[in-house]
Amino acid sequence: MRERTTSDMSLIASKFESIAPSQTLAITAAAKQMQDEGQDITSFGAGEPDFDTPQHVKDACIEALLEGKTKYTAATGIPELKEAIKEKLYLENGLEYETNQISVNCGAKHSCYNAILACCDPEDEVIIPAPYWTSYPEMVRLAGAEPYFVETKRENGWKLTPEELEGAMSGRTRMLILNSPNNPTGAVYSEKELKALVEVCYEEEIIILSDEIYEKLIYNGKKHFSTAAISDAAREITITINGFSKVYSMTGWRLGYTAAPEEIAGAIAKIQSHTTSNPTSFAQYGAVAALKGDQSIISDMVEEYDMRRQYMMSRFSKINNIEIVEPEGAFYFLVDTSKMGLSSMNLTEKLLSRYKVAAVPGIAFGYDNSVRFSYATSLDVIKNGLDRFEEFCHAH
């Protein structure tokens, strides 16, 4: 036996010292438990659509099950689904990918993690504009790389500027994570803004992970632009990420996808073949139906989200000691609570224990002076919750 030391043995890898569990999922679980105990909790927790999965999607999955489509599939997904994704990316996003550049994964969360794992070595830095979706830094750390945060400004609509990006670069920078429409700020980058960021990344040979999961949840007549469609240069360095959870209300199905330069797609295929084998077989048939079926269900959902968004906007704008930037996409409000002088954990704990309102502390998104409200919940819940939040604000 080779020499080994067993004193001070730790059962887990040292990287877990700096990894926190997901706050978005934790707060939602806490609210659910209190509801189950009979407490009257209003939850603005996880960003999970309150609509049911469309019937034709469920039917396609059931049919697949009945037909015995219950075995392993190709690691990166069934050909029908990859073809449907290829067509969607071409027709809706102006992106030409071959199916070998596409990989279907177990949720867009998994897609992001695969992409980071495929591209980053230990010691590499990944630039994450803050406020950010809570899982990005932890995925980077799990991959052994290091997150580097850039604080975006409220007055810039929480959007990263090329100057801020340039200032954040170091010899170790490997990747930039972009998320438009954004969770948690609702910011939507314009074509011009994306172009300016792409130019810096191309010049500096930085890969862009472009998480476009909220692409269709967009308001005020805004238009979504895919980063990879900005230019040929953009396509060379961008990994496009999308999924089915938000737009088709399929969170539990766990299906997302990556479209990437061939080399990166190959690495993602290897990771997937050794870790998950394939996304669930019959779920993938549901996803084909989602992409190929009636898309008007999406505009119906967007209309409903927009109505809630406008209602919340009017309520928040009447409260004195908070500030907001109007969200133009996704289904979140990031409420700036700087004037209250409470840490976001303290604020959300009080809000939950005394006012029975669950919302996610801004610290989970790298901006402690804030709290996130999701409006993927009914207008009744929103009205009731905001009455309570208003009371809380008046008392602080």
Residue 193 engages ligand PMP in binding (rule: CB under 6 A): no
Task: Name which of ligand PMP, ligand GLU, none residue 243 binds, using a CB cut-off of 5 to 8 Å depending on partner kind.
Answer: ligand PMP
Quote the CA–CA distance of 145 and 141 in Å, as a whole number: 5
Please report whether residue 186 would count as binding ligand PMP according to CB under 6 A. Answer: no
CA angle 147, 151, 155 (to 5 degrees): 155
Minimum distance from CB of 296 to ligand GLU (Å)?
A: 25
179 binds, among ligand GLU, ligand PMP, none (CB under 5 to 8 A by kind): ligand PMP
CB of 82 to ligand GLU, least distance (A): 24
User: Of these, 179, 180, 281, 284, which contacts ligand PMP (CB under 6 A)?
Assistant: 179
State which amino acid sits at residue 95: L
User: Nearest to residue 376, comparing CAs of 312, 318, 323?
Assistant: 312
**Residue 344 interface partner, choices ligand GLU, ligand PMP, none, CB cut-off 5-8 Å depending on type:** none
Which residue reads 């077989």 in tokens?
A: 281
Measured between alpha carbons, how far is 376 from 239 in angstroms, rounded to an integer?
27
Decide whether 25 or 169 has the Cβ nearer to ligand GLU: 25
Q: How many CA atoms lie within 13 A of 69 on its CB side?
A: 20
Separation of first and last alpha carbons in the chain: 64
Report yes or no: 200 and 231 within 8 Å, Cβ to Cβ: no
Residue 181 near residue 217 (C-beta atoms within 8 A): yes
Choice from 107, 131, 329, 361 touching ligand PMP (CB under 6 A):
107
Query: Which residues are within 8 A (CB) of 13 and not within 5 positions of it... i.e. 6 or more apart?
Result: none
Task: Count CB neighbours of 163 within 10 A.
Answer: 10
Q: Are the C-beta atoms of 209 and 226 separated by less than 8 Å? A: no
From 81, 89, 102, 108, residue interacting with ligand PMP (rule: CB under 6 A): 108
Tokens of 156: 């810039």
- Provide, rounded to whole angstroms, the least separation between the CB of residue 191 and ligand PMP: 20
What is the nearest approach in angstroms of ligand PMP to the Cβ of residue 98?
23
For residue 43, state whether it binds ligand PMP (rule: CB under 6 A). Answer: no
Within the chain, what is the greatest distance between any pair of CA atoms? Answer: 71
Residues 98 and 316 sit within 8 Å (Cβ to Cβ): no
Toward ligand PMP, which CB reaches closer, 77 or 107?
A: 107
Which of residues 25 and 319 has its CB atom nearest to ligand GLU in the complex?
Answer: 25
Q: Which does 26 bind (CB under 5 to 8 A by kind): ligand GLU, ligand PMP, none?
A: none
Tell the smallest beta-carbon distance from residue 88 to ligand PMP (Å).
16
Binding flag, residue 180, ligand PMP (CB under 6 A): no
Q: Which does 107 bind (CB under 5 to 8 A by kind): ligand GLU, ligand PMP, none?
A: ligand PMP
Site stretch for ligand PMP (CB under 6 A), options 105-113, 150-158, 314-322, 377-385 = 105-113
Cβ atoms of residues 240 and 250 within 8 Å = no
Q: Out of 243, 279, 327, 366, name the contact with ligand PMP by CB under 6 A.
A: 243
H or E element: which one contains 372?
strand 370-374
Binding site for ligand PMP (CB under 6 A): 47, 107-109, 133, 179, 183, 211, 213, 243, 245, 251, 256
